[in-house]
Amino acid sequence: MRTGQPLARRWGPLAPAVRWLVLLAGLVLTVVFAVGLARVTLVPVPGARDLVHPNFHLGASLRGYLDQPAVRAAAQQVGGNVLLGVPFGVLLPVLFPRLRGVLAATALTALVMVTVEAAQGLLVEGRAFDVDDVLLNTLGALLAHLLVGRRIGRALHPRP
């Protein structure tokens, strides 16, 4: 069987149960991801209070990361922010059939990440808004959507 076939054709009478299980798993993973995202991004860093400042200039933080002599720290910053967006690229088309499109999933991810960054900057001690984090998070979602999310979304929610 080809992987491009709709779920109903590949699984036959089991398709509704498989779809339900995948959607349930997607919902559970979304909750786990939301809790993890909150724990990673919305935890105060009191010692960094005077060190952090908001970044509204696209590329400024990225240049700062890449100019660091410690390659590992730069890779953690850039890679970590890309990885934070990956679940959006997979889970959005699984849970919401209308978000199978690249533009819709990417735009919603960007909106959510702007909201998270704004919450960090306004509510969390030792954290600040960073437009480059939004860019990297959205890039992670876009890549995951193109590589995996779109295919899973199409299998679960075939267009009529």
Task: Please tell me the distance from the alpha carbon of residue 63 to that of residue 31, in angstroms, as a whole number.
Answer: 33
Q: Which two tokens stand for residue 59?
A: 């590329």
pTM beyond 0.95: the answer is: no
* Cβ atoms within 10 Å, residue 73: 11
Tokens at 40, concatenated: 């990673």
- Predicted confidence pLDDT, tens digits, the chain (160 residues): 445 555 556 666 666 677 778 777 877 877 787 777 777 776 666 655 555 778 898 988 888 877 877 788 778 888 888 988 998 898 888 888 887 788 988 999 999 999 988 988 888 777 888 999 999 999 999 999 999 988 888 887 777 6
